Amino acid sequence: MNRREFLKTTSVMGLASGIHMTSATNPTAAQESVAKGYRVGEQVDPEIFFLDNKLNRVTLGSQVNEFTKIIYLLIFGGAYAVKPADKRGGMWCVDTVDDIPIHRTVLYNYAEKGVTFVPVAAPPVYGSERYGYKDEVFLTEPEDSGEYQKAVHEFVKKTEILKEDGSLPFDPIFYDPRFRLLDNPNAHEHVDGYGEVYPWQGRFKWHEDQQTYGTPTVWLMDRSLKVLSPPLYGNNYEAVPFHIKYTVNDVVKALDAALE
C-alpha cells in the first residue's frame, strides 16, 4: 500500500494541538527513524512482538523452532470491517489481495523445507473510518478503551474469517494493531494514547520505501534472525501500468539462495 491510499483518506498529522511530542515525532527524529531500518546482515531484535488471535503477545524470536532454517516475515494489510466501494478480496490493502497468490505458492512449496512463515496482519491505521473502524482508533485510543478493544476485536475477527474461508492460506495469523512493525513517523505522531514506543518500531520499514504503509512487505531472516537480503516490497497493482517490483520467481530465487 502506497501514498495514493493515504492521500485518498486522511492525514493524522493534523491532530489536535497539545499532542505530546517525543523524539520520534519531530521531523529530524522521523528521518533518523526511517534511516535506522534494518539492513542486510543486521540482527533483528528477538523481542519484537505482535499479537495472536487471542490478543496475547508473541515475540518474533519465539517463532524459531527446531526445524526453522529461514523466517519468512510477511507484513500485510488485513480485513476491513465495512467494504468500501473500490475494494475487493476482503482486505483493505488491494496490493495485499493481489499479492496473496505469490505467498500461497511459496507457502505450499517451502513450508516443509525449513521455512517458517510468520504472517502479520496490519489494520488500516490511516483514515480507518473509510473501512468501518472509528477514525484514528488504532493510533490514538488507549489500549484499555472500549473503542480500541472493539476495533481490534473486529479486525481480528474479520481477518480470521478470511483465513477460515481460504482467502488467506496462513495458520496461524498474527496481528499488529498499533502498526509497530512498519511504523512510519513521517505519517503520524505518537500521541499519549498510543502507548509505549519501542526502539525496534519501524525497523521493518526499508529505508528506500517511500510508501505510507508499505504493505505487503516480506523479510527473510535466518534462524538467528539475521537479515539475509533486502525486503521484497512495493508491488502496486492499482498503478497504470502496474508497478511490479517482485514476482513469485524473485521470492523463490531469494529463498533458494538463503537455503543453500
Instruction: Kindly report the pTM of this predicted structure.
Output: 0.87
Residue type, 16: A
In the chain, where are the structural domains located? 3-10+21-259
Q: Which residues contact 98 (CB under 8 A, 6 or more apart)?
A: 89, 235, 237
Instruction: Map grid coordinates 512495493 to a residue.
Output: 234
Mean pLDDT for 16-24 is 33
171 in Cβ contact with 163 (< 8 Å): yes
How many helices (H) and strands (E) the chain has is answered by 6, 7
Mean pLDDT for 204-221 is 96
Looking at per-residue pLDDT, the higher value among 94 and 20 belongs to 94
Q: How much is the pLDDT for 3? A: 42
Q: How much is the pLDDT for 185? A: 86
The CATH code for residues 3-10+21-259 is 3.40.30.10
Q: How much is the pLDDT for 157? A: 98
pLDDT at position 11 over 50? no
**Model confidence over 65-108: pLDDT tens digits?**
999 999 999 999 999 999 998 888 999 999 999 999 999 999 99
User: CA-to-CA distance for 192 and 19, rounded, in angstroms?
Assistant: 7
SS (H, E, C) 49-112: EEECCCCCEEECHHHCCCCCCEEEEEEEECECCCCCCCCCCCECCHHHHHHHHHHHHHHHHHCC
Q: How much is the pLDDT for 161? A: 98
Q: How much is the pLDDT for 1? A: 59
C-alpha closest to that of 173 among 165, 183, 163? 163
Q: How many other C-beta atoms are found inside a 10 Å radius of the C-beta of residue 36?
A: 15
pLDDT at position 24 over 60? no
Q: How much is the pLDDT for 85? A: 87
Q: How much is the pLDDT for 239? A: 86
